[in-house]
Amino acid sequence: MPSLRDIKRKITSVKKTQQITKAMKMVAAAKLRRSQDRVISARPYARKMISVIASLAARVERAQHPLLAKREPKRVKLVILSSDRGLCGAYNTNIIRKAIEAVREFQAQGKEVKVNIVGRKGRDFFRKRANYTLGQTWTDLGMIDYDKAAVIGKNIVERFTAGETDEVYLLYNEFKSVIQQKVTLEKLLPIEPPAEADPFQTSVDYLYEPSAEAILSSILPKHVEVQVYRSLLESQASEMGARMTAMDSATRNAKDMIDRLTLKFNKQRQAAITKEISEIVGGAEALK
């Protein structure tokens, strides 16, 4: 049975841990609000970009730009967005589990899969496993801005244009709410026209100035960068939501543990006092 000193030391340790988890929850809550606002602001532009690009892709010949080129999908690049830090519940576990399922599915189709990682947690997991081909990695991005997303987007465009891969997929946590994040797998390249296009809309062409090739060369790489940027913002907001929820749960669990330890401490102290009183009374009776 632990001594009163041991129990008291454990209560002090749990209280310090509770202070840390409470502080981390407050920091995550503050960052979440900012990240959530940025995601909400970025979504309309990114969705409109998808609509415009899909419309263009339905009207032009795929040979007019490499990012529209549809090749036999023998080589697939999977870009996984994870976090640099832990203590965010099942955030990284869910994304890694889905990544493993996606890789196995691609391999079952006879495709060669290369995994690109954003975030230290995903990189460390796949780097330790020899049955995965690890490509480019990006870590320590901090607060996401467009310039950081553009670096990743340009790398993806360059690799696809050079013919190193035939398809590119993004895997990330889409932010739904503080307590809900949805693991999402999206095809980024080649850019596809809408599945259910309006026949009237697709039959109407545009006049391009200076030319369709020049416009596509400018707007298509921009589209990739914008979608990567939006996905990174979604991931960061999801990470903050998951961390806030995890730290709130840890804080409440610490409180419950402190209550149980305090009750145990009081019971053991009362038992010790009762034993001492019994010994005193017994000694006094023996002296009579």
Residues marked active site are found at 88
| Torsions phi, psi for 79 (to 5 deg) | -95, 115
| CA-CA-CA-CA dihedral for 229, 191, 157, 64, to nearest 10 | -140
| CA-CA-CA-CA dihedral for 106, 235, 216, 158, to nearest 10 | -60
| Residue that is written with structure tokens 């929850």 in the block | 25
Alpha carbons 272 and 3: distance in angstroms, whole number: 10
- Nearest Cα residue to 116 out of 159, 145, 74, 87: 159
Alpha carbons 109 and 118: distance in angstroms, whole number: 25
Write the single-letter amino acid at 211.
Answer: S
Alpha carbons 144 and 83: distance in angstroms, whole number: 12
| Residue that is written with structure tokens 């009362």 in the block | 270
